[in-house]
Amino acid sequence: MDPEFAVILDNWFPDEESIELRKGYANHVTGITGTVETLMSYRGPSVSKLLACANNSIYDVSAAGAVGSAVVTSLTNNKWQYTNFQNSAGNFIILVNGDDTARKFDGSSWSTTAIAGPGTPADLVHIIQHHNRLFFLEKGTTSFWYLPVSAIAGTAAEFDVGPYLSKGGSLVSHGTWTVDGGSGQDDHYVMISSEGEVVVYSGTDPADASKFTLLGVYQIGKPLGRRCMIKYGADLVIMTDQGFVPMTKALVAPDDVSISLSENIKNAVHTSAKSYKSNFGWQPLHFTDAQMLIFNVPINTTPSSHQYVMNTGTGAWCRFTGWDAACWAEHNGKIYFGGNTLVNEAWTGYSDNTLNIKADAKQAYSYFSPKYVTKLFTMVRPIFQSDATPEPQIQITTDFQDDAPTSTPTTTTESGSPWDTSPWDTTSWTPEDIIYSQWGSAVGEGRSGSIRFKIETNSTTISWLSTDWIWKPGGLM
């Protein structure tokens, strides 16, 4: 592996010029009964609401603090799929879950929305907006349903794609994929089955064969949950047990597993999918303000989870731990995750709700030069930029050993108050970010070497800029 890569990069985010310690999280709303399994962002022209689903109820969690009374009660399922939709009657959020009658919210009031057609209206389990229509999936079937243009209720028409699914199964998820067909942008309708078969249609009206054309059926990995799709620019990315697959590449080379965005972390993704694929909580999130694609991995339903995170500018990957999320939403430029009895705001502050952020990094091994010569490593110097003195726990390993540091790292904390927020000549201010480059003894012998270090902090920013080594050449091996 190129030494510019990392074998471990936990709670470090690979920016374009440095590796940044990730930001923390803070409680946003507390006191909810049970686990929050859905977060929804309603966005109207003048009103926006953050909504949480737990305890078979829906709560308005727009304002921080203790949770208020539920705005919808007596539901059956907390796992909703939703979309924002606008027509001449107003701006709505429409949601379905496969067990309860579809709901709608107009920014001030909640009600059911009558959709006729499926066996029972409550069987609708997934919803998207496509070409100014609402498209639905019916649970446990190979059919999608669609309403007339601009409608949010009424009689839906059925379209069965079962004859194209050679491996059987049922439809799990669907999405819109924007493609440049040479004469302008066109939105394709994409469905994926439980067996990993992707059906792609082009066109605007499923009732008219001349305006709704099958482009193809492709085999990729099996989907990881119903929330497996996300729009990423003009692309559509699908979370599968074979990786996180962009449709632009799957259409060209569907049998090539190296097409996935997650190719550089494929072993980690495959291991997670194998261990946790049946768990609820798989979900992607595009956080544009921080250039991140976040892929939530549900370890269990407590909930406990970690996230694989990609820098959308560079394609570099890392892993976040300590954020135990069952679901995610972006709302008003911030990101939130639902957990056990609460909603947290993520990517804020320098602590995990006052607890230390624990970061772990191990560079890929380097043979340095010359490659086949034994080296005696004597000293190493990781170079950091921070507003406090970093005190990492460091371990040098050689020739692909996997030793971890054994001592506990010292918690790095600021001294003083943020600059210019406390009285002049009274309280010390924290220093501005400066460079820290302290040589440390690190003895090891081998042809290749790697550094691993851990850092803990609850109050500082830290950037890892580079690493310097001192070693003595030996003989050939």
- pLDDT one-digit tens code per residue, 125-183: 999 999 999 999 999 999 999 999 999 999 999 999 999 999 999 999 999 998 865 44
Distance in angstroms (rounded) separating the CA atoms of residues 93 and 285? 19
Region(s) of the chain under CATH 2.130.10: 23-289+325-353
Distance in angstroms (rounded) separating the CA atoms of residues 71 and 357? 35
Q: How far is CA 436 from CA 14, 381, 433, 440, in A?
A: 19, 9, 9, 12
- CATH 2.130.10 for the 23-289+325-353 domain, yes or no: yes
pLDDT tens sequence across 54-77: 999 999 999 999 999 999 999 999
pLDDT, residue 182, reads 44
pLDDT at 93 over 70: yes
pLDDT tens sequence across 422-458: 565 555 545 567 898 888 877 889 999 999 999 999 9
Which of 239, 400, 405, 391 lies closest to 310 in space, CA to CA?
A: 239
pLDDT, residue 439, reads 84
Distance in angstroms (rounded) separating the CA atoms of residues 229 and 200? 14
| Residue 436 amino acid letter | Y
- Euclidean distance between the first and the last CA atom of the chain, given in angstroms as a whole number: 21
For tokens 């009658």, what's the residue? 101
What is the per-residue DSSP string for 342-384? Answer: EEEEES-SSSBTTBPEEEEEEEPPB--SSTTEEEEEEEEEEEE
Local structure of 178: helix, strand or coil:
strand
What is the per-residue DSSP string for 13-58? Answer: EE-SSSEEEPP-EEEEEEEEEEE--EEEEEE-SS-EEEEEEETTEE
> Phi/psi class of residue 275: alpha, beta or left (left: φ > 0; alpha: ψ in -120 to 50)?
alpha
DSSP state of 432: P
pLDDT at 413 over 70: no
The least confident of 139-148, 183-192, 377-386 is 183-192
- Band (233; pLDDT cuts 50, 70, 90): confident
* CA atoms within 13 Å, Cβ hemisphere of 421: 5
* Long-range contacts formed by 139-147: CB under 8 A, 24+ apart: 139/98, 139/170, 140/170, 141/170, 141/171, 142/169, 142/170, 142/171, 142/193, 143/171, 144/171, 144/174, 144/191, 145/115, 145/117, 145/118, 146/206, 147/115
Contact 130, 149 (CB under 8 A): no
Distance in angstroms (rounded) separating the CA atoms of residues 41 and 249? 30
Distance in angstroms (rounded) separating the CA atoms of residues 306 and 297? 5
Q: Which residue has the higher pLDDT, 94 or 424?
A: 94
